[in-house]
Amino acid sequence: MKKNNPYRFIAYLGISLIIMSIVLMFIMPHKVHRLPHGFITPVLAFEFAQTSYDIYGIFYDEAGKISRDTVASMDLGNILDFIYMTQYSLFLLLFSLITFRITKKYILFLPALLSLMALAGDVFENIQLMGITSMLENGEYQQQLFYLHYFTWFKWASLSLIFLMIPLFIYKKGIFSAITLTMGLIVFILGAISFFHRSFFNELFSLSIAVMFLLLIIYSFAYKNGTNKY
């Protein structure tokens, strides 16, 4: 990677983001008693939980008792997620501002702002998630479950808009740019479907977000001034 690459710093920030993603993958629970229809990832099912039935399936075992291991791993993952959310929001914020410096397109301040909105949504989402796990004994988590829906979608919608916009401003002739632009559109479409129809599309939506992060990290490493290669 050349020293004059303006994305040089955030490229390494992107690597730390990948590392934290792997750490969280190992910490978060992988198997629970029952997941909502269409979900295969417990932490994602928790984020998009809508009813007490959903919560019961995630955190209670076959005997109807709270799974302490599931609660402990989910709570630990959500605590570490505060580091992760700071990493990804900072990456997107700096990526947007660096791209603005290169292109002079003031509209890029919008994805920069959206990155901070995604961070805020994620913070309050985690507060609701940890509030729910702390109230599993008495079952009085309906207020947290109510707000969870709004904060979760505040985060995911912000990310969806960011990934729809950024590819438009880094686009240059080349297959990589075409892939990034297409992927950004796929993220937005999957997000819209997931919002109106909670299902396996939520899993695909989450996966598409991860792919977009990876593409931007690759772009950060591969960027070359004055070329149309990427």
d(CA 51, CA 80): 25
| Residue with the two structure tokens 């008792």 | 65
Residue 104 Ramachandran class (φ > 0 left, ψ -120 to 50 alpha, else beta): left
Using the predicted structure, report yes or no on whether residue 230 has a pLDDT greater than 70: no
d(CA 7, CA 104): 16
Per-residue pLDDT of 121-131, as tens digits, reads 999 999 999 99
pLDDT band at 218 (very low <50, low <70, confident <90, very high): very high
Per-residue pLDDT of 22-38, as tens digits, reads 999 999 999 999 999 99
3-state SS, residue 106: helix
Nearest C-alpha neighbor of 148 from the set 219, 55, 30 = 55
pLDDT band at 225 (very low <50, low <70, confident <90, very high): low
First-to-final CA distance of the chain? 14
